Structure 1
Amino acid sequence: MRSFGITNIGRYRLKNDDSFFCSDGRKGLYIVADGMGGYQGGETASKIAVSTAVELLRGAESLDEQLSEKLTLEIQKRMRDAIDRNENFKDMGTTFLCALIVEGTVYLMHIGDSRAYLVRGGILYQMTEDHTLVNILFRNGVINREQARVHPKRNVLVKALSAYERVKGDLKKFQMGDEDTLLLCTDGLTDQLTNGEILEILLLDQPSDVIAAKLVDTALKSGAKDNIAVVVVKGSYD
C-alpha cells in the first residue's frame, strides 16, 4: 500500500476540526474524522477518535462487531473524561471513518457523513452511506441526487459519535486489488466536488501525495467553506 493524508482548514473556518491518520504496511490503518461541538470541542473530539482508534486497531487482524463496539465505547469514555476536565466540550462529537487493510482485505467502519470511495476499473464506488437527513430523503425518493447534493440541510447528521448517545458503526468488508485506489474524506471535500470530479482526479497516473494535494487544491479553488481531510491509498505493493 502507498498512502498519503492531508487536511486543510478551508477558506472560511477559523479552526480545523478534521483529523486523519495513515500508516502503510502488511496491516494498513487509515482514518478520517470530522469533529463538531463549538469552542475547541470538535477538534478535541476528532483527535480523541483518531488517537483511540490507532491505539486499539494497530495490532488488529480484522475489525468485527465486537472490536467496533469496544472502540466506540472507549472513544466515548475518553470524550466524557475530556468533558469532565472542561465543560466547554459538553456538545462535542465527531464523524468517524476508518479502514483497516490486512493483506488486501479492507475492514471499513463508518459513523456520520465522511465517505469512503473505491476506484476499480475506472469506476468510482461509494462504499459508505451518509448518516444524514438528506440521504434518508434521497433513499425514500423524496429528492433526487442533484437535489441532495445541494440541499441546505445536507450536513444534518442522524448518527454521529458523541460522548453519551449509544451508537453502532456500519461495518463493511471487501477486497482491494493492486490496481485499486481507496479514498477516505470528510464532507469538506464532497460538498465541493462532484463524484465525477473526484473520479477524474483519482484516475490521474500520479502517486498518492500528488492526488491528495490535487483533491484539496481543487476543493479550495471551488470555494471550500468547510475543513477538508483526505486520505488516498493506492493498492500497489511495489
Structure 2
Amino acid sequence: MEKAWLTHRGRVRELNEDSVGLFQSAHGVPVAVVADGMGGHQAGDVASRTAVRVIQRKLQDLPREAGTDKWKEGILGAVEAANHELYQMASQDKGYKGMGTTVIASILGLEEVVLAHVGDSRAYLLHDEGLYQLTEDHSLVNVLKKHGEITEEEARVHPQRNVIVRAVGTNAEVEADLIVTPWYKGDTLLVCSDGLYNMVSIDVIGQVLTSPIPVREQAERLLKMALDAGGTDNISLVLVKNDGAEKEKRS
C-alpha cells in the first residue's frame, strides 16, 4: 500500500486541534485515524490526540486473520474506549469540560476497509476514477438538508455549518456509524477533516487523486489547494492507495 498523511494548522487558527494516526497493529494490519478536536483553550487538541492514542492502543493486537466481524467489533470498541477516556477527563478537569472530537478510524484489509465514524470528518473512496463519499456528516446542516430545510448550496455557506450533532467524548455513550466497503487494486482511500473538503471541491479532489503522481505528491497538492483557498480551518488528510502488493505477497 502506498500511504501519506499531512496535518496543518491552516492560515487562521492559532492551534492545530486535528490529530492523525497512520500505524500498523502488531500483526501488520494498517490503521488510519483522523480526529478533529473541539473545546476550550487547547482542549480540542487534547481531545483529538487522546482519541488517536487510545484507538492505536486498543487496536495494537488486531490480528489480520480475524475476519470482518472481529474487525468491526474491534474498531467500535476502540472508539468507545476513546469516548470513555475523554468523557472521564472532561468530568474530572474543568479545563476540559465540553471537549470532544470527530473520529474516523479505518482498518485497511487486503480486500475491504472497515470504518467507524463520528462527526463531520469524512472518508472517500476513489474507485474506477469515481470518488465516492463513504461517510455521512453528523452535522446540523446535514440534518437540515435531509429534512429539506436548506439546499446543498445553502449548506456550504450556512453560519452554523461547523456545528456537529454527534462527537466522541461529549457524552457518556457514543454511537459510531460502521461502514464496510470492498476495495481493489488501484483504489485510494481518503480520510480527511472538514478543513480540506470545505476549501477544495470534491470534483477537484477527484482530479488530484486520479492524477498520475505519487500519493505523497497528491497529499501535498491537496494541502496546498486548501491553504491557497484560505485555509480557514485546520487541515488533515490520510491517503492510502491499494497497489495490490500486499495481496500478491500473501497469495
RMSD between superposed Cα atoms in Å: 1.8
User: For 1:5-50, what per-residue CA distance to the aligned partner results, in whole angstroms no more than 9, with x for missing partners?
Assistant: 1100000111100000113695210010000002111000001110
Question: Does structure 1 conserve the Cα–Cα contact (< 8 Å) formed by 2:209 and 2:218?
Answer: yes
Partner of 2:193: 186
TM-score between the two structures when normalised by the length of structure 2: 0.88
TM-score between the two structures when normalised by the length of structure 1: 0.93
Specify the code of the residue in structure 2 equivalent to 1:8: H
1:31 partner SS: strand
Partner of 2:33: 31
Size of the aligned set, in residue pairs, is: 237
For residue 51 of structure 2, the aligned residue among 40, 49, 52 is 49
> Quick one: distance in 1 between partners of 2:87 and 2:144?
33
1:1-238 alignment runs, 5 A limit: 1-23=1-23, 27-60=29-62, 61=66, 62=68, 63-64=71-72, 66-83=73-90, 86-238=93-245
Give, in angstroms, the shift of residue 81 of structure 1. Answer: 4.5
Give, in angstroms, the shift of residue 226 of structure 1. Answer: 0.4
Runs of 4+ aligned structure 1 residues displaced above 4 Å come to none
Give, in angstroms, the shift of residue 68 of structure 1. Answer: 4.4
1:179 partner SS: coil
> Quick one: distance in 2 between partners of 1:207 and 1:145?
32
Give, in angstroms, the shift of residue 202 of structure 1. Answer: 1.1
Specify the code of the residue in structure 2 equivalent to 1:16: N
User: For 1:95-128, what per-residue CA distance to the aligned partner results, in whole angstroms no more than 9, with x for missing partners?
Assistant: 0001101222100110000000011111110000
Question: Does structure 1 conserve the Cα–Cα contact (< 8 Å) formed by 2:5 and 2:237?
Answer: yes
> Quick one: distance in 2 between partners of 1:175 and 1:73?
24
Sequence identity of aligned pairs in percent?
A: 36
> Quick one: distance in 2 between partners of 1:164 and 1:153?
21
Specify the code of the residue in structure 2 equivalent to 1:167: V
User: For 1:199-234, what per-residue CA distance to the aligned partner results, in whole angstroms no more than 9, with x for missing partners?
Assistant: 111111122211111111100000010001100111
Question: Does structure 2 conserve the Cα–Cα contact (< 8 Å) formed by 1:188 and 1:229?
Answer: yes
Unmatched runs of 5 consecutive residues or more in structure 2: 246-251
